Amino acid sequence: MNTRVLNLLRNITSLELKQKNNHRFFEDMPSKAINNELSTQANARVLNNFFFRNRDIYISKHNRFADYPSHTHTFLEMNYMLHGTATEIVDNKKIVLQTGDLLLLDVGSKHSIQALGQDDILINILFREQNISVNLLSALQRNNSVLSDFLISRAVGNKTTQVNYLLFQKKQGSEIQETIEHIIDEYFLKRDFSNSIIKAYLSILLTQLVREYPLSTDEHAGKQQKLMIKILKKISEEYSTITLKKISKQYSYNENYLSNLFKNEVGKTFTEVVTQQRLIKSHNLIINTTIPITTIMERVGISNKTFFYKKYKQFYHSTPGADRKG
């Protein structure tokens, strides 16, 4: 890590000195960053998108020497323990972060942080769902992991997930710490094109987390959830030919019953999920091959050209032709 950045983070700021001398928390956020109306409803401070006015990702050092009050936010947050130890209370559960640990907090996850000591350096990385690109989702969807489910649910608006935070403890030989330190360096050194480089590093970081923490959800799921996981895997493998009728027959369920069960558990209809999988596969072929688009449509299982172009535009906010040129 850059020595200049490390020294900057270790320095005691004027606000930290104030908290150290008075042994209590002093407000560190401008009034525009706090949504007072939502704060009343949540019984905790609600931080809004004020941080992203001129940037896509916001990074800060957590102020030391005082307990940080319970709060929540309208964006995603990572807490990275650069050095030392931190104790957080997340949704009433105590979590202790050690050097190299990373905590990913969902939108609306309520948490507080106990006072940090002088040698404790906690870095906050804030970003919005928009920074999770569709291309990244395409890669993540091929992995059966808690993180991929979490990120996909955030980006496509599926609020059925019950995961409010994910803890990634440091692993020996991991590239994750190096990637995070690159992000921190780029942010605080304020060099040319740093915003673009940080966004690229964030995508790399999220993908590294998926690769290094492939935790299956099967062992924790109930009977219906396990069935949905099996069906989702089937969709990812047999997207071009799969039908609800085939799946119902395979698992010995009434077709209407399975359709309703799928919608309740997954948050989308069976048809919507199959279409999304076909669009993802078609997008990969469009940008990575020279196969004619009509052939790609046939290969993924879509025969109606008007339907394909309409759904593709809705999902990617672009056209197949534009993506191929791009």
pLDDT in tens, 117-130: 999 999 999 987 66
Mean pLDDT of 276-294: 88
Q: Is the pLDDT of residue 232 over 50?
A: yes
- pLDDT at 227 (0 to 100): 84
Please state the φ and ψ torsions of residue 48, each to the nearest 5 degrees: -110, -165
pLDDT tens string 88-114: 999 889 999 999 999 998 878 889 999
CB 278 within 8 A of CB 301: yes
pLDDT-above-70 percentage for the chain: 86
- φ/ψ of 22, rounded to 5, equals -105, -10
pLDDT score, position 86: 98
Indicate the range of 156-170, 176-190, 224-238 predicted with least confidence: 156-170
Confidence label for 215 from pLDDT (cuts 50, 70 and 90): very low
User: Stretch 300-308: mean pLDDT, rounded?
Assistant: 95
Question: pLDDT at position 109, please?
Answer: 85
* Percent of the chain predicted with pLDDT > 90: 47
| pLDDT the model gives residue 303 | 94
Phi, psi of 31 (to 5 degrees): -60, -30
Please determine, for residue 74, whether its predicted confidence score (pLDDT) is greater than 70: yes
pLDDT at 218: 46
CA distances to 124, 139, 213, 287 from 284, in Å: 33, 10, 24, 6
Question: 267: burial class by Cβ within 10 Å (0-12, 13-18, 19+)?
Answer: middle
Phi/psi for 86 (5° steps) reads -140, 145
Average pLDDT, the chain: 85
Q: Is residue 192 exposed (0-12), middle (13-18) or buried (19+ Cβ within 10 Å)?
A: exposed
> At 135, is the pLDDT very low, low, confident or very high (cuts 50, 70, 90)?
low
Are the C-beta atoms of 150 and 166 separated by less than 8 Å? yes
Contact 311, 305 (CB under 8 A): no
* 69 confidence band (pLDDT: 50, 70, 90): very high
Question: Counting Cβ atoms within 10 Å, is residue 75 exposed (0-12), middle (13-18) or buried (19+)?
Answer: buried
Q: Is the dihedral of CA 149, 151, 153, 159 positive or negative?
A: positive
**Gap between the Cα atoms of 185 and 197, Å rounded:** 11
Q: Is the pLDDT of residue 221 over 60?
A: no
Give pLDDT, residue 148. 65
pLDDT, one tens digit per residue, over 169-191 is 998 888 999 999 999 999 999 99
Average pLDDT of the residues in 12-37: 90
Span 286-300, average pLDDT: 92
Backbone phi, then psi, for 11, in 5-degree steps?
-60, 145
Could you give the domains of the chain? 3-212 (2.60.120.280), 221-325 (1.10.10.60)
Q: Whole-model pTM?
A: 0.67
| Integer Cα distance of 151 and 155 in angstroms | 6
The pLDDT assigned to 316 comes to 78
Between the alpha carbon of residue 130 and those of residues 1, 56, 156, 157, 281, the distances in Å are 28, 9, 10, 11, 21
| pLDDT of 144 | 46
Using the Cα atoms of residue 143, residue 275, residue 264 and residue 247 in order, give the sign of their dihedral.
Answer: negative
Residues in the chain: 326
- Residue 147: pLDDT band (50, 70, 90) is low
Question: How far is Cα 1 from Cα 67, in angstroms, rounded to an integer?
Answer: 28
Distances (CA, A) of 249 to 141, 217, 242, 244: 26, 25, 12, 9
Say how far residue 127 (Cα) sits from the centre of its chain: 9
Spatial separation of the C-alpha atoms in residues 240 and 3, rounded to whole Å: 53
Residue 217 has a pLDDT of: 47
How far apart (Å, rounded) are the C-alpha atoms in residues 56 and 49?
10
Q: Residue 163: is its pLDDT beyond 70?
A: no
Separation in Å, CA 44 to CA 72, 109, 115, 182: 7, 11, 18, 33
**pLDDT bracket for residue 220 (50, 70, 90):** very low
